[in-house]
Amino acid sequence: MAAVEVPEFNDISMEYSEHAEEFYSDHFSIQKKSNKKRVEWNHHEERWSTYLPGIKPEIRKPEKHMLSFRKAVMLVVVLEKLKGKRGCEMQSFFDDDDLLNHILVEEDLTYNEIQTQDARKSQFHYNKTTVHVIRDYKQKSLALQEFQDNARLVALFLQGQNIEQEAKINVDTYLTATFDKRRRPVTLGISGRQLYLCCSTEEGRTEPVLSLKEKKNDDLLPFMFYKQLANNKYNSFESAAFPGYYISTSQQERQPMQLKPENDQIFLRDFILNPHF
């Protein structure tokens, strides 16, 4: 097998061919001129004169993938030869860094830091709604009073036609992972309105306050109460957000409902629920 001589980089004539298939030939000749080697890359047409007389040359167009393969091999051989040539590192050749510089562009990125907090999955799952009238154990009814944008529930005695002022309360029952029939989670809302009893804190007050607000399903805790039945007769409503605090009414009439601690001996926290049909 004849050895293939790889030409020196400076001896390669980078001639352009208009025909991609004829860009490189499988044959090349080396001629000495002025003590320098000159590499001539010949087309197949230029090699016809070297065939023996009587032999009709036959030119077959190589498969494109073979031509591409030959080109790739020649380029690899030339590049490997160039790696060992002195002074080549000072020339501008295409290398891996040139390719990466076009793909991986280093830029200064600006960003805004946003603090996020994962939404807490609600531990309460809605079950059903029943409508009741609620009175404290002294039979004071609950009535809705509204002043401009403020609304509140007050406890007062209602008789005769005034009984129509008694508020109907939607008792929404919820389920939890641990079922306790003595402590049922519920929300208490005004029937026909989007107002629910809500527990919250206010600046300047040491105890939580009770108010009427629109219920937010993404945060039910301030609206949730544990309904507890005592002696199969009276119900109490403990705040889920503020354990130990209960919905209470004053001994006096026409006073708003409030949240009071369990040890309070003045306010009333026992209620009677009557279904409303």
Total structural domains within the chain: 2
Contact between residue 262 and residue 246 where contact means Cβ atoms under 8 Å apart? yes
Is 238 in the same domain as 143?
Answer: yes
Task: Quote the domain boundaries for residue 20.
Answer: 9-87
- Interatomic CA distance for residues 78 and 211, integer angstroms: 86
Residue-level pLDDT at 56: 55
Is 141 in the same domain as 224?
Answer: yes
Residues present in the chain in total:
277
Is 68 in the same domain as 141?
Answer: no
Is 154 in the same domain as 52?
Answer: no
Look at residue 250 and tell me if it is in a domain: yes
- Residue among 71, 45, 69, 68 at smallest CA distance from 58: 45
Q: What is the pLDDT of residues 49-93, one digit of tens each?
A: 444 555 555 555 555 555 666 777 777 776 776 666 555 454 555
Sign of CA pseudo-dihedral 136, 138, 139, 142:
negative
Pairing of strands 28-33, 184-190: unpaired
Is 59 in the same domain as 133?
Answer: no
Is 154 in the same domain as 260?
Answer: yes
Q: Enter the tokens of residue 41.
A: 């890359």
Strand (E) or helix (H) holding 125:
strand 125-136
Residue-level pLDDT at 147: 86
- Of the candidate ranges 31-40, 62-71, 151-160, 227-236, the one whose mean pLDDT is the lowest: 31-40
Average pLDDT of the residues in 32-50: 45
Residue-level pLDDT at 217: 84
| Residue percentage of the chain with pLDDT more than 90 | 47
Is the pLDDT score of 216 beyond 60? yes
Residue-level pLDDT at 149: 82
Residue 46 vs residue 73, higher pLDDT:
73
- Interatomic CA distance for residues 181 and 77, integer angstroms: 85
Average pLDDT of the residues in 43-52: 46
| Residue percentage of the chain with pLDDT more than 70 | 59
- For residue 77, give the 3-state DSSP assignment: helix
Strand (E) or helix (H) holding 39:
strand 36-41
Residue-level pLDDT at 221: 96
Look at residue 114 and tell me if it is in a domain: no
Is 74 in the same domain as 129?
Answer: no
Look at residue 101 and tell me if it is in a domain: no
Is 133 in the same domain as 81?
Answer: no
117-to-54, 120, 176, 244, 272 alpha-carbon distances in Å = 89, 9, 23, 28, 41
Residue-level pLDDT at 85: 56
Residue-level pLDDT at 160: 92
Tell me the CATH number at 184. Answer: 2.80.10.50
Average pLDDT, the chain: 75
Q: What is the pLDDT of residues 12-38, one digit of tens each?
A: 444 444 444 444 444 444 444 444 444
Look at residue 77 and tell me if it is in a domain: yes
Pairing of strands 271-275, 125-136: antiparallel
